[in-house]
Structure 1
Amino acid sequence: MNVIIERLQLAGLFVLFWMWSFPLFAEDTIYRDDLEEVFRNHTTDGTFVLYDVSADTLTVVGANRASTRFIPASTFKVANSLIALDLGVVADENEVVPYGGKPQPFKAWEKDMSLREAIRVSNVPVFQEVARRVGLGQYQRYLEVLAYGNQQTGTDVEHFWLKGPLEISALEQVRFLTSLAQETLPISSKTQKAVRDILRTDHSGRSTLYAKSGWTNTPSPDLGWYVGWVERSDEFYVFALNIDIHSRSDAKLRKQLAYEFLSTFGIF
C-alpha cells in the first residue's frame, strides 16, 4: 500500500501540468446554439459537448450548462473502476465482487458479478462494495490526481457520487475521458487498458463506441448522463451529454440524444 501512496504522491507532482495540457476550452470552440432545439423537441433541457482530439476542436450545444457541475451518478463507475483496479482492491476486471445479498430495485443487480458485467448493468451495490474497499482517504487522493470534478467525497463512502457532494461538469467529463481514451491519465497503463475494454459498447463500420450512462434523482429534476468517446482508427471523438429527466420514460433519451448528436456530426 505504501508503494501505491508514494506513486500517487509522485503523480500529484504532474497533476497541474496534466490539467493545463488539456484546457476546458480547446483552441477552436464552436457553439451550436441552433442544435439546442434537439432538447426542446424532447421537452427537456441539456448540454452536449464534443471534442475532436485530432482537430483540437470543441463543439458545444448548450454552452451555459456545459460548465455547470452535477452529480456524476453512475458515470463515476468509470473512475471508480480505474481507482479500484489501480489500488488492487479488485484483482482485475473479471474478479467477481459480491453485491451483499439484499433486495435491490432492479433484479439485474441481485447477483455477484465482475466489474466487466457490473459496469454494463450499472450495478450500484457491487460498486458500493468496491467503494468500501477503497475508502474515503484513497478516493480523495485519486480524485485529486485525476483532477476529477470538484474532488469532494464528503463522509459517506457509499453515496458521495450518487447523492453528492462529488460533482463534475460536461466539460470536465470530456477532459477526463479524453485522457482515458488516449491512456494518458497519471495511473498505470494496464489499468487504463482494462477500463477502456469494459467500456466498449457498440461498433459501426470503422467506429467503436465506448460509453457509460448515469442517472441521479438528487436534486430535482432528475439528471441523466451519457458520456464516452468514439474511436475511429487513430481518431478520437470524446463527448458528454446531460439532460433533465422529468419521468422514468425520459431515461431512454440519454442514449437516444447522444446518438442523435453523434449522427448529426457524422461521427457514429
Structure 2
Amino acid sequence: MPTTPHSARQGRARRAAAAGAALALAAALAGCAADDGAPERPSASASASASASSAPEPRVRADLEAVFADAGVNGTFVAYDSATGETTVVNPEEMDERVQPASTFKIPNSLISLQAGAVESADEVVPYGGEPQRVDKWEHDMSMREAIRISALPIFQELARRVGHEEMGSWVERFDYGNRDIGGPDRIDQFWLHGPLSISAAEQALFMERVATGDLPVDAEHVATLHDMVRQDIDDPEGRDLYWKSGWADGPELMPGWMVGWVEDGDDVTAFALRLEMESDAHADLREPMTRELLDELGVLPAGTD
C-alpha cells in the first residue's frame, strides 16, 4: 500500500484520536497513569491529550470477557476502527500493561532491516548460524520472507545484529514503539524477547494501524513487502484481507502471548491486538481461535474465513 502525504496525515490524525480515547479510558478507570519507569514521551502525550476531548469514547465490551473466561486464560483485546475512529476494548484494566513484544517485533524488525539495508530484499537468503535451535525447522538458511512465516528467531537475530545497536535504537525511537528502550549493545539480539523493550496491547493496536496505512517513516515499497509477508490466505466472500503475526515471550511464570495485525475491508482498516497471560504451552494454541472469535463477535471478520 503506497504511502501518500494525505494518507499519512489521515493516519496521524486517526492515531492521535485513538490514543486520546485510550488515554481517556485509562484515566477514567485508574484515575491516573501508572508509572512503569518508561521514559517520558511528551510529543505523544501532548497529541493524545489534545485529542482526548474530541475522540470517540472507547467501547468496553464486558460481554466478550466470556471469551477469555471460557478459554481459561486472562488477557485483553484492543481493536481500532480507522473508519470510525472507535476503539473497542475487552478487559480494559489490562490494555495499558506493557510486556515484551516477543515475535510480534518481527514486523518492525522487517521494516527496519529493509529500510536500513540489512538485506537487499525480503528474498535474500540469510544464514541462521549453524547452531542447534529449539525448533527444527529454524535450522537452515532462509529468506526473511520465509523466516517470518515460521517465526525463525535466528534469522531475525542476525538481521538485528546487521542493523546494529545505534541504528536499531534510532528506528525504535522514530517508530514510537512501546517504551522505546532496547537496552545496551549486548541486548541487540535479545531486547524484544527478554526486555527491556516492552509494549501494551493498546500501543500494539495503534502501531498496527500505522503499519496497515503506511504511516511510518519508511519507503512505501518496504511497507508493501511487509504486507505481503504477513498476509494470510483466507477465503472471504466479501473480499476482506487478514494480516497478522503471533508472539510468545519467555517468562519465569506467566508467558505473554500475542496475536497482532489488522483486517482490510476495502479502504477501511481495523487494527487489533490480543494479549494472553499464558500459564502453559497449551495456551499458545488459543491465540488464533480467540482472535478469530473476537473479530467475528465485533463483526470485523466472520469465523470460518480460512
Taking structure 1 as the reference length, what is the TM-score of the superposition? 0.91
Aligned-residue Cα RMSD (Å) equals 1.6
Q: 1: distance between equivalents of 2:253 and 2:167?
A: 30
Q: 2: distance between equivalents of 1:222 and 1:139?
A: 25
Query: Contact conserved, 2:73 with 2:278, CA < 8 A, in 1?
Result: yes
Q: 2: distance between equivalents of 1:69 and 1:101?
A: 34
Shift of 1:19: 9.7
Match of 2:70 among 19, 26, 41: 41
Match of 1:70 among 99, 103, 112: 99
Alignment of 1:175 with 2:206, yes or no, is yes
Match of 2:273 among 225, 240, 258: 240
Per mean C-alpha deviation after superposition, the further-off stretch among 131-140 and 76-85 is 131-140
Q: 2: distance between equivalents of 1:21 and 1:172?
A: 12
Query: Contact conserved, 2:80 with 2:270, CA < 8 A, in 1?
Result: yes
Q: 2: distance between equivalents of 1:136 and 1:167?
A: 17
Name the counterpart of 2:231: 200
Alignment of 1:154 with 2:149, yes or no, is no
Q: 1: distance between equivalents of 2:246 and 2:114?
A: 20
Match of 2:60 among 31, 42, 57: 31
3-state DSSP of counterpart to 2:264: strand
Structure 2 residue ranges without an equivalent (≥5):
1-8, 22-54, 302-306
Shift of 1:22: 4.8
Q: 2: distance between equivalents of 1:254 and 1:194?
A: 25
Alignment of 1:21 with 2:46, yes or no, is no
Partner amino acid, structure 2, of 1:192? V
Q: 1: distance between equivalents of 2:140 and 2:207?
A: 30
Match of 1:185 among 187, 198, 216: 216
Name the counterpart of 1:231: 264
Partner amino acid, structure 1, of 2:222? T
Match of 1:262 among 292, 295, 300: 295
Alignment of 1:112 with 2:141, yes or no, is yes
Q: 2: distance between equivalents of 1:86 and 1:197?
A: 16
Structure 1 residue ranges without an equivalent (≥5):
1-13
Q: Residues 53-97 of structure 1, C-alpha deviation per residue, up to 9 Å, x if partnerless?
A: 101111000101111111000000000000000001111111111
Name the counterpart of 2:42: none
Name the counterpart of 1:53: 82
Shift of 1:249: 1.2
Query: Contact conserved, 1:149 with 1:166, CA < 8 A, in 2?
Result: yes
Taking structure 2 as the reference length, what is the TM-score of the superposition? 0.80
3-state DSSP of counterpart to 1:201: coil
| Matched positions, count | 253
Q: Residues 5-55 of structure 1, C-alpha deviation per residue, up to 9 Å, x if partnerless?
A: xxxxxxxxx9xx789735424422101122112111111101010111101
Q: 1: distance between equivalents of 2:59 and 2:253?
A: 30
Q: 2: distance between equivalents of 1:149 and 1:19?
A: 18
Match of 1:79 among 79, 83, 108: 108
Name the counterpart of 2:35: none
Query: Contact conserved, 1:202 with 1:210, CA < 8 A, in 2?
Result: no
Partner amino acid, structure 1, of 2:143? S
3-state DSSP of counterpart to 1:238: strand
Point out 4+ residue stretches in structure 1 off by more than 3 angstroms.
17-23
1:145–1:219 Cα change, 3 Å: farther
Match of 2:195 among 164, 176, 182: 164
Partner amino acid, structure 2, of 1:85? L
Name the counterpart of 1:130: 159
Give identity over the alignment, percent.
Answer: 42
Query: Contact conserved, 2:101 with 2:192, CA < 8 A, in 1?
Result: yes
Q: Residues 110-140 of structure 1, C-alpha deviation per residue, up to 9 Å, x if partnerless?
A: 1111111100100000101001101111111
Per mean C-alpha deviation after superposition, the further-off stretch among 196-205 and 149-158 is 196-205
1:60–1:194 Cα change, 3 Å: same
